Chain A
Amino acid sequence: MKSFKLLLTLLAMIILGSVVFAQASTEKSTKKTQLQIVHWNNLGDDVIAKFEQENPDIEVLFEKFTVDQFMQVMKTRVASGEIPDIIGAQENDFPVFLKNGIYKDITDYDFVKRLTLNAQKELLAFGDGRIYAIPSNAWAMGIFINVDMFKQHGIKIPENYQDLHTAAQAFRQKGIAPFVQGIKDSWTVNQMFIPQFRLQVDTPQYYDNVKTGTAKWTDPEMVKAYQEWYDLFAAKGMMFEGSLGITYEQAYQLFAQGRVPMWPMGTWAAELFKDDAGKPVKLSFEMDFIPQFGNDTGEEVINAATNIGAMYSISSSTKKLDAAIRFLDWLTMRENAEFFAQKTGLLFPIQGVDFSEVVPYGNKLIPATFEVKVLNPFDVFVDPAVKQQLTVMNQNLLAGIGTVKSELEKVQKAQEIANLERK
């Protein structure tokens, strides 16, 4: 009995203690306005510190997740009404969240004008004429190439879609696999949609038509595009051996070691080319970054890129609107934007920002992101369930499972289910 009483008292003390502790930690921060920000890209502790220094009455609570977790957590929280003040917005989920009125309309605020014109244009198109978010990252698709390997084997560096095929086949004939990719990380297979992008350039409404049923994934044009994709990436000898089992960073490793001629990846990968001290890594070869050509020989170069890669939106139900506005206003000011870009390595599309210090080899990446003609890649507009099936299809083809036709049939099936389920 004594031990029982002892246990009870111990228990009571502990519970009391924990309650006190929990209360204490809330007490500490109720003096300032707490701004809750959630994103999958880094905001940078230095950036937060600088902001809090200049705005002492606001405290920033930043929560970072990986992309996978972000979807899970955001959806769970939004569904229960626990929405942070500033939300990271992703192109795929953007339409659904928009439809449910999660985002606040910020078109009329001045700070929006500081974005690059391309960014503003894309935002307006995305938000049906109104602006609902600020992009924190502009990126372009492209191919990192090992110039030395091209020179060594006398292969012309591609300038259009046909050149790309020629170059790839030339490498293969010499027994060198032209591409490497971190296929184990499934999102990377979606970075190589060059033939499909070309289809989008030729017939832009194609990817809308599948949603209404006027076009199908099994139509001849799509089959042809995917067959070209297969010949380019999935056929024997095109992918560096073992690519199926390596991650995104391991693929970078192989490229940085100079073992592959081409690595199709977006500009965000430039961040990897840094050493611990933050300085650009010294490569043993000359590197360049070419666009993923949607244009044929002789046509103007067009690349898949977007100025609204990862976005910050204000929640329409936030109680700290003033603080949120101040934060975004502060962030978009040129010096702060530059500071943010430098600390995070993101290409923040604010007018006047100098990106040469932001990412290693920045001067090579900027043209493909901000200077050529760009088109927002189609995979943003595809239904999430269909996009998932496309990823599976790409992985299957790369792994040697199934044929182009059979896999496209599965995609079509998924599209039909999505059309059925869409209200």
Chain B
Amino acid sequence: MSRRKTQFIGSLVVTVASLLSLYPVVYIMMISLKSKESFLMSPNTFPDVLRFYNYVREWSIGRIGILGVNTLIVTFISIITSVLIGIAAGYAMEKLIKGKRTHRFLYNYFVAGIIIPFQVIMLPLFKILRTLGLFNSLRGMVIVYTVLNLPFAVFLFCAFVRAIPNELLEAARIDGCSAYRIFGSVIIPLSRSIIITVAIFVGIYIWKDFSVPLVYVSHPLRKTLSIGLLAFKNEYNTNWPVLAAAMVIQTFPVLLGYIVAQKQFIEGITGGSVKG
């Protein structure tokens, strides 16, 4: 098979897949521009009048401004804490701990952490948060999100740090660096790509999530965007186009960030992320 031919068929296959990936998103955008009755009557046609008003309505009634800020703060801080604490743990486990049994125990400990579904710990965790006074606060959400993402982050960081050649660390040690110095000046700079990767995955997870703010925050002004989405979902009478507008608003920042930062994004992931 000639190179050209493979390339052509390959492009075809990939194009079909991309279009398939894209079209439900486009569909949602289309819905968001229709009026409610036009949607219920004929959900598949293009809107003849573009109702940008749906977006305005969603923004004001859904209090998108405040919720957006909340979501940004929680996401941002949680990313920082997850990454820092995670990479510290990864460094300790892979480079500082000499005992094989300890290492195996810790490794299994974090894998078990990945397995535990949120549903299972939801109730008791709530009691704990409440006792500590962390219910209904952004701080509480940051802690919960950090904890939920830590096992996964540690897992990835372990894999990456393991691949860092020990010679580098020995050289630094001979130069008189303490473990902390090595962490700050050697490990972290080398791990830039995996840090970006983990940051991206954690960020996307938190941005999408609605289970945590649903249960752990009751004050309407402290909730996040994903909950704001539900403002228009009445039990018996949902205004689907406005709901679709809310979804576009929620997805838009991530999408935008992705398109703009695509280079960083891809470089971050491509720059030797998962080495095992």
The answer to whether A and B touch in the complex, with CB atoms under 8 Å apart, is yes
Contact of A22 among B137, B185, B215, B235 (CB under 8 A): B137
Near B by CB (< 8 A), chain A positions 257-301 give 257, 268-269, 271-272, 274-276, 281
Interface size class of A (residues with CB under 8 A): 35 or more
Of B12-20, B33-41, B91-99, the stretch lying at the interface with chain A is: B33-41
A272 adjacent to B135 (CB under 8 Å)? no
Min CB distance A132 to B, Å, is 22
B214/A65 in contact, CB under 8 A = yes
Q: Report the bound CA distance from A275 to B221 in whole Å.
A: 30
Whether B40 pairs with A249 at a CB distance below 8 angstroms is yes
Q: Report chain B residues within 8 Å CB of A274.
A: 237
Which segment of B24-32, B121-129, B264-272 sits at the interface?
Answer: B121-129
Given contacts A22-B137, A271-B236, A276-B36, contact A4 B215 (CB under 8 A): no
Q: Which residues of A contact B80 (CB under 8 A)?
A: 11, 14
Query: Which of B40, B181, B222 lies at the interface centre, i.e. has the most chain A CB atoms within 10 A of its CB?
Result: B40
- Segment 338-361 of A: residues with Cβ below 8 Å from B: 345
Let me know if A79 and B77 touch, CB within 8 A.
no
B126 touches A77 (CB 8 A): yes
Q: Tell me the complex Cα distance, A248–B236, Å.
A: 8
Q: Which chain B positions have C-beta within 8 A of A1? A: 181, 184-185
Whether A72 lies near B215 (C-beta < 8 A) is: yes
Whether B215 and A77, one on each chain, are in contact in the complex, defined by CB atoms closer than 8 angstroms, is yes
Q: Pick the contact of B230 from A21, A41, A65, A252 — CB < 8 Å?
A: A65
- Give the residues in chain B near A69, CB-CB below 8 Å: 214, 230
Complex CA gap A257/B43 in Å reads 13
Question: By the criterion CB–CB under 8 Å, are A80 and B123 in contact?
Answer: yes
- Per the 8 Å Cβ criterion, residues 147-188 of A in contact with B are none
- Give bound CA distance, A4 to B185, whole Å: 8
Give CA–CA (A77, B136) in the complex, Å: 12
Q: Which A residues are CB-close (under 8 A) to B184?
A: 1, 3-4
Q: Is the CB of B231 within 8 A of A76?
A: no
Whether B41 contacts A253 by the Cβ 8 Å rule is yes
Q: Is the CB of A61 within 8 A of B215?
A: no
A55 at the interface (CB under 8 A from B): no
Which of A14, A65, A81, A252 makes the CB contact (< 8 A) with B77? A14
Which residues of chain A from 77 to 112 have any CB-CB distance to chain B below 8 Å in the complex?
Answer: 77, 79-82, 84
Which positions 49-84 of chain A face chain B at CB distance < 8 Å? 61-67, 69, 72-73, 76-77, 79-82, 84
CA distance A11 to B82 in the complex (A): 12
A18 within 8 A of B: yes
Interface size class of B (residues with CB under 8 A): 35 or more
B61's nearest neighbour on chain A, judged by CB, is A45
Residues of B within 8 A of A81 (CB): 127, 130
B220 and A61: CB pair below 8 A? Answer: yes
Q: Are A271 and B237 also in contact (CB < 8 A) when A61-B218, A76-B123, A80-B127 are?
A: yes
Chain A residues near B61: list those with CB within 8 A. 45
For A76, the chain B residues whose CB sits under 8 A away are 122-123, 126, 215
Of all chain A residues, the one with the shortest Cβ separation from B36 is A276
- B274 neighbours in A (Cβ, 8 Å): none
List residues of chain B with CB within 8 A of the CB of A345: 237
Indicate if the CB atoms of B220 and A63 lie closer than 8 Å. yes
A269-B230 in contact (CB<8A): no
A73 to B184, CA, bound (A): 43
Residues 1-47 of A contacting B (Cβ, < 8 Å): 1, 3-4, 7, 11, 14-15, 18-19, 21-22, 25, 36, 38, 40-42, 45
How far, in angstroms, from A69 to B122 measured CA to CA in the complex? 13
Q: Are B235 and A40 in contact (CB under 8 A)?
A: yes
Q: Inside 8 A of A271's CB, which chain B residues have their CB?
A: 236-237
* B249 part of interface (Cβ distance < 8 Å): no
Contacts of B236 in A (CB 8 A): 248, 268-269, 271-272
Whether B40 contacts A42 by the Cβ 8 Å rule is no
- With the chains together, A76 CA to B188 CA distance in Å? 40
Within 8 Å of chain A (Cβ to Cβ): is B76?
A: yes
- A31 CB to closest chain B CB, in angstroms? 15
A21 touches B219 (CB 8 A): no
Contact of B126 among A15, A80, A84, A275 (CB under 8 A): A80
- Spell out A's residues near B (CB within 8 Å): 1, 3-4, 7, 11, 14-15, 18-19, 21-22, 25, 36, 38, 40-42, 45, 61-67, 69, 72-73, 76-77, 79-82, 84, 248-249, 252-253, 256-257, 268-269, 271-272, 274-276, 281, 345
Beyond the given A18-B73, A276-B37, could you list 14 further A-B residue pairs with CB under 8 A, ordered by the A residue number? A4-B184, A7-B84, A14-B77, A18-B138, A76-B122, A77-B126, A79-B127, A80-B123, A82-B126, A82-B135, A249-B40, A271-B237, A275-B37, A345-B237
> Can you list 12 A-B contacts (CB < 8 A)?
A61-B218, A65-B230, A66-B233, A67-B235, A76-B126, A76-B215, A77-B215, A79-B123, A82-B218, A268-B236, A274-B237, A276-B36
Closest 8 CB pairs of A and B: A4-B184, A271-B237, A80-B127, A275-B37, A80-B126, A276-B36, A268-B236, A22-B138
